[in-house]
Amino acid sequence: MKTLETKDYIVFLVYFLIIAVYGFWVYRRKKSANATSKDYFLAEGSLTWWAIGASLIASNISAEQFIGMSGSGFKLGLAIATYEWMAAATLIIVAVFFIPVYLKNKIYTMPQFLNKRYNSTVSMIMAVFWLLLYVVVNLTSILYLGALAITSISGIDLNICMFALAAFAVIITLGGMKVIGYTDVIQVFFLILGGLATTYLALNMVSEHYGSSGVLSGFSHLTNKAGDHFHMIFDKSNPNYMSLPGLTVLIGGMWIVNLNYWGCNQYITQRALGADLKTARGGILFAAFLKMLMPLIVVIPGIAAYLLYKEGAFQTEMLQGGEVNPDKAYPVLLNLLPAGLKGLSFAALVAAVVASLAGKANSIATIFTLDIYKKVFNTNANEKKLVNIGKITVVAAMLLAIIIAPHLGIDKKGGFEYIQEYTGFVSPGIFAMFILGFFWKRTTSNAALFATIGGFILSVFFKFLPTFADLSFLASSGFSKDNGSGVYEIPFLDRMGFVFAICVAIMVIISLLEGKKAISDEVELVDDTHHFEEDAEVVTTDANTTVKVKKSKGLEVDTSMFKTTPGFAVGALIIVGLLVALYTIYW
């Protein structure tokens, strides 16, 4: 039944008031007359480890997880949980190796990193690209899918839902990262509580269907009766192999997806960039533990819906246009919740969408204000001006998303697939540019430019390669599969792996060929003892002292940065142990 009852509205109103009152309290308490742009965009020094961790998850989990991953659970099974569980492992790597580099070098935005490591051209190209990606792909899909999900549960008009979600998110975002970070703690509480309520209902329904009771009994029936949906690694004969191609999820393209998303993404890293290293690492580790929990909330309900559908339930509710639509699994379950509990799950979904919208809008405002407006339009802008420009950008981005979202066909592709497809065209090149920039000092700016542009071109090439080349010879190795019409396509994650490997190889070749030029870019010989930089290194001493002048380009990186505390090491080992156990049990 697509309506909310009085009890549901009361529960939702309580959630809304808690968020609004707490957010206003945080804003008033943390407000400073001398607040800088870094205070507003990054909440510099203000977020605790638990606020950072909660904000990471609240920003990450949205309608595409609740609706899209539950739908994938219905279709693919537990294997889709690899996006969540491998993310937990990725977060540990980001905390150990990526965050120390950002914090040590006082990096606040990803374009700033590129400018410091490479040059302003690479930085500006990527700043514009990220703005387009965040507004046209991410912000619109979060808003539209969220509104669709809420409409399917409440019966409220789609446009009203879009405007309401956008307005709610704007109110939170205008308070700055402090308000976003701390209200995200409550958002995550409702997200998990409401999500667990849906899982509880789904498992109870399975249990009752087979004449027993209790969620443990339901889960046991689920693993016995839908055993085909509890395999993490697909073999080549699996019809869903193209989506999750075997060991690629453990040793291939899945790492590129996750490392790029969690380590090279303003939307995510921004939560930790305003903290000290210990706090940032603690928050990221907390987020990793929460990621381990997410499949219970966003995948298990989809598998339960699959089993119940197979047993004759939801036969009409799951249909769309005469065919089964897996993305209907979660809304169908939510509509079966009793009054009050449905309101809680409704609040959880809204919390997930609003938190993601707020985080994305803040990142858009940060990049535009600090990396474009301040550098191109007003280099002398004061701190108050920058904060005001950020607020205007938030409103403008959200209005643009409302206008264009209905025209992108997001619902036809499926939200999770939509986001992965479009970001996947550029992720390999971006990650190659970042990873070599971090750990290979000889990487040049031209090599980075190739990764930026060439990575995208290579991704498009591999996408359309099957239309003019027979790739059946790759089938035996698992790198291609018949799509059902006689055309052998390369699985999406494998395409990303190929593009990343090629980008790294060509970046190395370009950098080595430019070796002499790279050295001349870094040093300048000056026959003048009075006009050189303070950090200049004396090379020779004679009547006219020759001085080797070192430019400021480059990053400060040393191995001591990567040392962790014993507490972090123990937490990381627990997560790795859990991952090994889960993949062993459900291989």
For the segment 45-69, the average pLDDT, to the nearest whole number, is 80
- CA separation for the pair 386, 369 (Å, rounded): 6
Range(s) of the domain holding residue 361 = 6-21+46-225+272-413
Number of domains in the chain: 1
In a domain, 423, yes or no: no
Entry pTM: 0.81
Whether 545 shows a pLDDT value over 50: the answer reads no
> Helix, strand or coil for residue 24?
helix
Q: Which residues of 77-107 are buried (b: 16+ CB within 10 A; e: fewer)?
A: bbbbbbbbbbbbbbbbbbbbbbbbbbbeeeb
How confident is the model at residue 411, as a pLDDT?
56
Q: List the single range of 30-44, 132-146, 189-203 with lowest mean pLDDT.
A: 30-44
Residue 335 near residue 2 (C-beta atoms within 8 A): yes
Whether 421 shows a pLDDT value over 70: the answer reads no
Q: Which backbone phi and psi does 340 adopt, to 5 degrees?
A: 95, -55
Residue 33 near residue 320 (C-beta atoms within 8 A): no
Nearest to 94 by CA among 261, 336, 235, 317: 261
- CA separation for the pair 286, 139 (Å, rounded): 25
In a domain, 557, yes or no: no
For the segment 103-113, the average pLDDT, to the nearest whole number, is 84
How confident is the model at residue 584, as a pLDDT?
92
Residue 91 near residue 269 (C-beta atoms within 8 A): no
What is the per-residue pLDDT across 360-395, written as a single tens digit (0 to 9) for each?
A: 888 888 888 888 888 888 888 887 888 888 888 989
What is the per-residue pLDDT across 216-275, written as a single tens digit (0 to 9) for each?
A: 898 999 999 888 899 999 888 888 888 888 888 888 888 998 898 898 887 788 778 878
In a domain, 579, yes or no: no
With bands split at pLDDT 50, 70 and 90, how would you rate the model's confidence at 538? very low
| Higher pLDDT pick, 499 / 22 | 499
User: What would the 3-class secondary structure string for 40-56 be?
Assistant: HHHCCCCCCHHHHHHHH
- CA separation for the pair 411, 144 (Å, rounded): 8
If one counts every other C-beta atom within 10 angstroms of the C-beta of residue 513, the result is 13
How confident is the model at residue 526, as a pLDDT?
39
Whether 58 shows a pLDDT value over 70: the answer reads yes
In a domain, 323, yes or no: yes
Q: How far is CA 473 from the centre of its chain?
A: 34
Name the percent of the chain lying above pLDDT 90.
16
Q: What angle do CA 519, 522, 523 make, to 5 degrees?
A: 90
- CA separation for the pair 263, 358 (Å, rounded): 20
In a domain, 402, yes or no: yes
How confident is the model at residue 282, as a pLDDT?
92
In a domain, 253, yes or no: no
- CA separation for the pair 248, 260 (Å, rounded): 16
How confident is the model at residue 505, as a pLDDT?
95
With bands split at pLDDT 50, 70 and 90, how would you rate the model's confidence at 34? low
User: Which helix or strand (DSSP H or E) is residue 540 part of?
Assistant: strand 537-540
Domain at 100, CATH number: 1.20.1730.10
How confident is the model at residue 547, as a pLDDT?
43
For the segment 201-212, the average pLDDT, to the nearest whole number, is 88
C-alpha separations of 560 from 96, 557, 563, 564, 565 in Å: 11, 9, 6, 9, 12
Place of tokens 């699959």: 306
> Helix, strand or coil for residue 481?
strand
Residue partners of 190: CB distance under 8 A and separation at least 6: 15, 344, 347, 348, 351
- CA separation for the pair 42, 36 (Å, rounded): 10
Residue 71 burial (10 A CB sphere; 0-12, 13-18, 19+): buried
Whether 414 shows a pLDDT value over 70: the answer reads no
Whether 44 shows a pLDDT value over 80: the answer reads no
Q: List the single range of 190-199, 251-260, 329-338, 535-544 with lowest mean pLDDT.
A: 535-544
Whether 63 shows a pLDDT value over 80: the answer reads no
Please provide the average confidence, as pLDDT, over all residues in the chain: 81
What is the per-residue pLDDT across 486-537, written as a single tens digit (0 to 9) for each?
A: 778 888 888 888 999 999 999 999 999 887 554 444 444 334 433 333 333 4
In a domain, 104, yes or no: yes
DSSP H helical ranges for 105-154: 110-117, 120-132, 140-154
In a domain, 183, yes or no: yes
